[in-house]
Structure 1
Amino acid sequence: MAVTPPRHPGPATAFEWSRPGMHLRFEHGEDHPVRLAHWATGPDAPSVVAPMPVADYSTAGEHRARPDQSLLHWGSGPRLRYTGHEADGDELRISQREPGSGIEVHSSFRAAGPGLQIRHTVRNATAEEVVLLNVASAIVAVPEAAHDLLWGESEWLAEGRWHQRPVEELLPNVNPGFHGRRNRGNFGVTSHGSFSSGAYLPTGVLALEDGPSIAWQAETSAGWHWEASQHEGTVIVGVYGPTDLYHQFAARLAPGEAFTTVPAGFCVAGGGRDAAFGALTDYRRAIREMRPIDARLPLVYNDFMNTLMAGPSTEKELPLIEAAAAAGAEYYCIDAGWYGTGNWWTDSGDWREVPGLFTGGLVSVIEAIRAKGMRPGIWLEPEAVGEQAKAGRELPDAAFFQRFGKRVCETGHFQLDFRHPAARAHLDEAVDRLVAEFGIEFFKLDYNVNSGVGTDVDAAGPGAGLLGHTLAFRGWLSDAQARHPEVLFENCGSGAMRMDYNLLSVAHLQSTSDQQDFRLYAAIAAAAPASVAPEQAGNWAYPDKAMSSEETAFAMTAGVMSRLYLSGFLGGLGEEQFALVREAIALHKDWRQRIAVSHPVWPLGLPGWDDDVLALQLDAGDESLLAVWSRGGAVEVGLPGLRGRTLEQVYPVALPEWKVRAAEGGPVVEVQAGPAARIFAVR
């Protein structure tokens, strides 16, 4: 282990740490805690941050530092003092101690691509119990400038609705100096219950078009909160996991015990909003636990969306299997409804096929999939046990979420608690059996209910119980992949209601919505790479025989522009429609490895839910893919960000070309009335 020697003249209380493309300097002293004082792209580059203590936490019984609606520096962080640091490759570890109480905080800064993954461990080094109420995962301050703050709203069927507003509009100047006080206000977004992205997205950006921008994400499937506030010429961003104030969280630490925060990811980039999202994309790739099977990026057909809708049978599956193979699918996933007695909702949890549903048994459908050259997949909701399932009667109450001594039940579902060995063993048996008996090579893992704030079993607060479960569930998923390295696992989460990098760092694919209206899906697909690396963003493409050729191309474009997730009654399509499907699949396969290294760009800005024209560019360097969707009347659209580049329509080749003319301000596209879409190669 080695400490990077200081390269700047300064006090002995400063130390520095460098990794490729990143240089940090920290300061500490007898009268203040460790501060992140400098973050730049190199030793001689200007800093993008203002000095700010790196850690903060609150405990029961202590007085809050000030009457404030912000969590930032509410608690004991300012009382911490430096005790040491060490560097080991891509990780820097800093230790501090609170002199009065003896509580220790050990901070980890791990370089990952262009960003940092930050977390803190609070250790009770006292002789008495300590109860934590919240611990900041990361705190970063930037000098106040003309920043825009970006945040995303989300709900079922309307995921990824991004907003961009000037900071000065969200955090008004109340002239705190006149009052002899500091600002009390803040702008914050918070998760609700066990849907980590059910209301808001755990991602934010402070964008500065003519200077450095920062992007961040909370990496947890449990409660999270991030906020921005102003103080003495800075904008301060704090990222938190579950807290007492927002999530009924508490952690009891006996002497010698410790608590580690959920990770927070931070990235710095020059060039504004798109550059910040580009850096975050590379950071997300860097924290993924990739396996050789993940790198193949296979095309999956799933029989659910606008198709069987959880009503499978042999008679229904066989024509779908034939058409999916003819279209070019490489995996075929049988979705919900294959198990229990046929009630896909209340029967979930036993994971044994419905007797008599499949002629010749489920194995005959699996064999039909393999006979067409595809690999079989199947749907599971691993944390759910339906009220009618045998597992609900056989597993102990301690294996389920509980509140006040009663099982948590949401719309006929009990929630398994993966901290309990019986819960994990139950799913281990199911997954291992399905792989051994049927040769399953793809699992679509769903999560369809918000189970609330958590469980109070073996937890000081239900928010802590939820956090413990989500960490255990991630561990279970990692273990399942270690046992079955050739099996892919999708994180569905009720169509992106649990879309976070606690799970996406170990999952192969993320379904981006359950939205069945292809016109509305375009806005979701265009925004998805702001939340998920493009190669993980499973955008459904579900053509239907009732669609016109233009509508078919519109629907397929969503899939091409990230990770094509195929569905629909393909066998019922007309010849021209089916040709459009095959053409889109061929284009996606040709581009999928380049998509996996691309960066998202939004030439018309992040998509609005009701925008008539949407655009997404996947920039792979010398060549890019650009999709333009039209949902309104004919219009001309200028693309100043593509000045000096040429556009060639590459999909659909069988439909009329949209004219592109050169202009001084950049290419201008003549967009036809919608629904219609085109994909261009940008060179």
Structure 2
Amino acid sequence: MSISFDDSTRVFTLSTRSTTYQMQADPYGFLLHLYYGARTDGYMAYLVTYADRSGMCGCPYDVHDRTYSLDVLPQEFPFQGAGDMRSPLLSVRDASGAFGCDLRYVGYEIRPGKYGLPGLPAVYSDDEADGAETLVVRLRDARLGLMVELLYGVMPELDVITRAARIKNEGAGRITIDRAQSACLDFVHGEFDVISFYGRHAMERMPDRHPVGHGSFSVGSRRGMSSNQYSPVLVLCDHTATESTGRAWGMNFVYSGGFEAQVTGEQFDQTRFQMGLSDDRFSYPLEPGEELVAPEVIMTYSDAGIERVSQNFHRCIRTRVCRGMWRDTPRPVLINSWEAFYFDFTGESLVKLAEKASKLGIEMLVMDDGWFSTRRDDLRALGDWTVNEGKLGGTLAELVERVNALGVKFGLWVEPEMVSEDSELYREHPDWVLAVPGKGPVLGRDQLVLDLSRPEVRENLFAQLCAVFDQANIEYVKWDYNRSIVDTYSRASNDQGKVLYDYMLGLYDLLDRLVARYPKILFEGCSAGGGRFDAGMLYYMPQIWTSDNTDAINRLTIQYGTSFGFPASAMGAHVSACPNEINGRDVPISTRGIAAMQGGAFGYELDLLELPERACEHIREQVRRYHEIESIVREGLFFRLSSPKQDPVCAWEYVTEDGLRAVVSAVRLEVEGYGVASYVVPRGLTPGARYRELDSGVVYPADALMDMGFPLPVTLEANAAVMYRFERMDD
């Protein structure tokens, strides 16, 4: 059993393979957080201290003990109105407008398997195979008739615990939820660093690490999506923690809309770490009988460094968030038409591109933006998902048949959540967009956002998309989303504080229907590149376009930051033309290939028809090499061997879980005159074993490799890359 309850102490203990999580319903009915750390036995309430701090710390009315204050005690689900003046997870108003509640423990339930969430993505269990269990802890406010069910999913083999909450109005009057976050960890002492991931369009998920002091550090998104600017992943670690040493805790939000993640150093040198929905434009009323679900947070702990947190996230997301046939299936190497033709293509030019792709071993052609209605630029036609047969020179089915006859699969691009003002859909249904009456809407890329909180809007999109997908053998769909939500007003809602949350429920509903109807289509998420790279989208689409920036050197840092929270199998990464269209940098095609092979969804983003034969030979070799390492990249343990932001060499490694095979790649970022060799030190090999490097035939002892490493060629030029493949010699 991974979950136990001690009736005498009212202590809950949650156990995974390597960790223990413990909380207690105390004598007054408040739920205290006791411990989340290395696996251990015993009762950790001794960690909680009581002292007279009554000068400014409130005491619940029925406690009558000045040494007791929720402003000091570590809590499991802090709420506004209990005397805790720190950042809460829950804030409630009653029908009169009064703030605050008083949640007390009323019961629990333990059941086999992992809970699901109505209408929301969540980690799932594989029946009895992974030993998952669910704990439901019930807290109630008697005055309001407010019931909160705290949901804990314990995935023992993954070393993961998930948290979510169901907030129910069981009273007679309306209540309003102004804040509903999902997870909190309170630390009674410790010196910590926080690692977050900031960025912008085309430079997403830049890692940022700094000490936790007094005061609050928070990141989040008010953009209606998880955003290019901040990732919904946060890591808290010991001040001295490294990749492979020290304690670290991670939170990863399974949600694609606005969020907030926060770490606060408190008055008595305590630390609070929390994550959940953003408060921005959020005020959710609940009538009697209604409920709100706070989306899931994946939590994990490591006492063996930060990389273990990442590896736990990777394994959980790859095997228990991603779903469907493509979860465990090698992804086809593709060529996307965008940087080859932009809007200027025909059916004939696409067929020619597919012919060249076939000769190079590329397995799929993706027809990007410009194939529908009157779409010839980004000013028109979004919302009108009808095939432009004049542009394609025939039906979609005829084009796909010609491409398939070359041995090449076919995919296409869509952006269904948006609409152009110059479109038939907008002219017929101007009320279907999110726009404030009497106010000129804020445009993004000259487009508006459709109100997916409305069933009729979703039904229209579903029908249009199905009509396209049913025409031909479509095997891949790139789902784009290219602007933030600014004007949050739905003509179908009387409570505008519900709109952003209900929009996400609507999006998830639409995606769930499409994925169920087309289980063989490989869906890829995209949002101006990496603007919606989160575990919520990965529940519906097993891969996401990592960034619109395809420069190989910039991508090293983008993919490095992404790897802290997400598996390589989720990262779409392509070789593009040089000089790069975003920053003008020229990088050897060999380096572009090795950098792109860091992702588990590999492909090309250039005009194959203009390439010289030497570049074509590189592509043939890259495709062949990628197929050799694909399973290791997709399923192996990932190690960040150096940092592209701090080190002269960026190196990374994949190792199969059994330690049999490993792939080490490195890009030299700096070169000095008459320099000496740089060394790469692998990790994760089998101690005491020997490994053969498959290209050179050189045999290395694993212990020496993991101690001193091996040298890169001294002659390696700046921005040049190398890849080494190791196989264990089992004598």
Pairwise same-fold verdict (TM > 0.5): yes
- Other-structure match for 1:52: 74
Q: In structure 2, what residue type is equivalent to 1:241? A: L
Q: Which runs of 5+ in 2 are unaligned?
A: 49-72, 93-98, 113-132, 697-703
Could you tell me how far 1:617 is from its partner in structure 2? 1.8
CA–CA distance in structure 1, aligned partners of residues 264 and 514 of structure 2: 42
SS in 2 for 1:206: strand
Q: In structure 2, what residue type is equivalent to 1:12? A: T
After superposition, give the CA deviation of every residue in 1:240-268 in whole Å (9 maximum; x if it has no partner). 2121xxx1210011122211112111111
After superposition, give the CA deviation of every residue in 1:64-87 in whole Å (9 maximum; x if it has no partner). 853x6x456878899321111111
Q: Which of 80, 97, 111 does residue 88 from structure 1 map onto?
A: 111
1:494 aligns with 2:528: yes
Could you tell me how far 1:551 is from its partner in structure 2? 0.2
User: Structure 1 residues 427 and 72, CA, compared in 2 at 3 Å: closer, same or farther?
Assistant: closer
Report if the CA contact (8 A) 1:191-1:198 is conserved: no
- Other-structure match for 2:102: 79
CA–CA distance in structure 2, aligned partners of residues 590 and 511 of structure 1: 22
SS in 2 for 1:149: strand
1:283 aligns with 2:331: no
Could you tell me how far 1:107 is from its partner in structure 2? 0.7
- Other-structure match for 2:636: 598
Q: Mean alpha-carbon deviation: is it higher for 313-322 or for 75-84?
A: 75-84
User: Structure 1 residues 143 and 304, CA, compared in 2 at 3 Å: closer, same or farther?
Assistant: farther
- Other-structure match for 1:179: none
- Other-structure match for 1:178: none
Report if the CA contact (8 A) 1:306-1:516 is conserved: no
Could you tell me how far 1:482 is from its partner in structure 2? 0.8
- Other-structure match for 1:35: 32
Report if the CA contact (8 A) 2:77-2:89 is conserved: no
User: Structure 1 residues 17 and 612, CA, compared in 2 at 3 Å: closer, same or farther?
Assistant: closer
Report if the CA contact (8 A) 2:284-2:497 is conserved: no
Q: In structure 1, what residue type is equivalent to 2:106? A: T
SS in 1 for 2:314: helix
- Other-structure match for 1:16: 13
Could you tell me how far 1:408 is from its partner in structure 2? 6.1
Written as runs of structure 1 = structure 2, the 5 A alignment for 1:209-358 is 209=241, 210-231=245-266, 232-243=268-279, 247-345=280-378, 346-358=380-392
Q: In structure 2, what residue type is equivalent to 1:204? A: L
SS in 2 for 1:357: helix
CA–CA distance in structure 1, aligned partners of residues 43 and 203 of structure 2: 40
SS in 1 for 2:292: strand
Question: How many residues are aligned here?
Answer: 646
Could you tell me how far 1:27 is from its partner in structure 2? 0.5
- Other-structure match for 1:619: 655
1:630 aligns with 2:674: no
Report if the CA contact (8 A) 1:561-1:618 is conserved: no
Report if the CA contact (8 A) 2:403-2:410 is conserved: yes
Written as runs of structure 1 = structure 2, the 5 A alignment for 1:265-664 is 265-345=298-378, 346-395=380-429, 397=431, 399-404=432-437, 409-452=443-486, 454-457=488-491, 462=496, 464-543=498-577, 551-563=588-600, 564-605=602-643, 607-608=644-645, 612-621=648-657, 622=659, 623-634=661-672, 636-640=677-681, 642=683
Report if the CA contact (8 A) 1:211-1:270 is conserved: yes
User: Structure 1 residues 45 and 357, CA, compared in 2 at 3 Å: closer, same or farther?
Assistant: farther
User: Structure 1 residues 543 and 402, CA, compared in 2 at 3 Å: closer, same or farther?
Assistant: closer
User: Structure 1 residues 648 and 577, CA, compared in 2 at 3 Å: closer, same or farther?
Assistant: farther
After superposition, give the CA deviation of every residue in 1:329-360 in whole Å (9 maximum; x if it has no partner). 22221000111223242211111122421223
User: Structure 1 residues 453 and 198, CA, compared in 2 at 3 Å: closer, same or farther?
Assistant: farther
Report if the CA contact (8 A) 1:453-1:466 is conserved: no
CA–CA distance in structure 1, aligned partners of residues 599 and 575 of structure 2: 11
Q: Mean alpha-carbon deviation: is it higher for 419-428 or for 298-307?
A: 298-307
CA–CA distance in structure 2, aligned partners of residues 516 and 562 of structure 1: 12
1:103 aligns with 2:146: yes
1:681 aligns with 2:725: yes
CA–CA distance in structure 1, aligned partners of residues 339 and 522 of structure 2: 23
After superposition, give the CA deviation of every residue in 1:150-205 in whole Å (9 maximum; x if it has no partner). 110121111121112233xxx14xxxxxxxxxxxx211111131231221111011
User: Structure 1 residues 78 and 139, CA, compared in 2 at 3 Å: closer, same or farther?
Assistant: farther
CA–CA distance in structure 2, aligned partners of residues 581 and 549 of structure 1: 17
Q: Which runs of 5+ in 1 are unaligned?
A: 173-184, 654-660
Q: In structure 2, what residue type is equivalent to 1:450? A: S
- Other-structure match for 2:58: none
Q: Which of 122, 131, 138 does residue 183 from structure 2 map onto?
A: 138
CA–CA distance in structure 1, aligned partners of residues 166 and 494 of structure 2: 18
CA–CA distance in structure 1, aligned partners of residues 513 and 712 of structure 2: 49
CA–CA distance in structure 1, aligned partners of residues 290 and 300 of structure 2: 31
CA–CA distance in structure 2, aligned partners of residues 539 and 188 of structure 1: 29
Report if the CA contact (8 A) 1:544-1:569 is conserved: no
User: Structure 1 residues 561 and 404, CA, compared in 2 at 3 Å: closer, same or farther?
Assistant: same
CA–CA distance in structure 2, aligned partners of residues 84 and 533 of structure 1: 37
Report if the CA contact (8 A) 2:454-2:492 is conserved: no
Q: In structure 2, what residue type is equivalent to 1:140? A: L
CA–CA distance in structure 2, aligned partners of residues 2 and 44 of structure 1: 13
CA–CA distance in structure 1, aligned partners of residues 335 and 499 of structure 2: 34
After superposition, give the CA deviation of every residue in 1:400-422 in whole Å (9 maximum; x if it has no partner). 21324666643421211222122
SS in 1 for 2:528: helix
CA–CA distance in structure 1, aligned partners of residues 705 and 77 of structure 2: 52
CA–CA distance in structure 1, aligned partners of residues 606 and 692 of structure 2: 29
CA–CA distance in structure 1, aligned partners of residues 638 and 184 of structure 2: 26
Could you tell me how far 1:275 is from its partner in structure 2? 1.3
Report if the CA contact (8 A) 1:39-1:47 is conserved: no
Report if the CA contact (8 A) 1:404-1:456 is conserved: no
Report if the CA contact (8 A) 1:302-1:335 is conserved: no
Could you tell me how far 1:669 is from its partner in structure 2? 2.6
TM-score after normalising by structure 1: 0.86
Q: Aligned-residue CA RMSD in angstroms?
A: 3.2
SS in 1 for 2:344: coil
- Other-structure match for 1:166: 211
Report if the CA contact (8 A) 1:543-1:556 is conserved: no
Q: Mean alpha-carbon deviation: is it higher for 543-552 or for 311-320?
A: 543-552
SS in 2 for 1:674: coil
SS in 2 for 1:201: coil
Could you tell me how far 1:458 is from its partner in structure 2? 5.0
Q: In structure 1, what residue type is equivalent to 2:227? A: S
After superposition, give the CA deviation of every residue in 1:375-402 in whole Å (9 maximum; x if it has no partner). 21111001011111111122361x3213
Could you tell me how far 1:56 is from its partner in structure 2? 3.4
Q: In structure 1, what residue type is equivalent to 2:197? A: G
Report if the CA contact (8 A) 1:197-1:498 is conserved: yes
Report if the CA contact (8 A) 2:333-2:623 is conserved: no
Report if the CA contact (8 A) 2:479-2:525 is conserved: yes
Q: In structure 2, what residue type is equivalent to 1:186? A: S
Report if the CA contact (8 A) 1:80-1:97 is conserved: yes
User: Structure 1 residues 631 and 646, CA, compared in 2 at 3 Å: closer, same or farther?
Assistant: farther
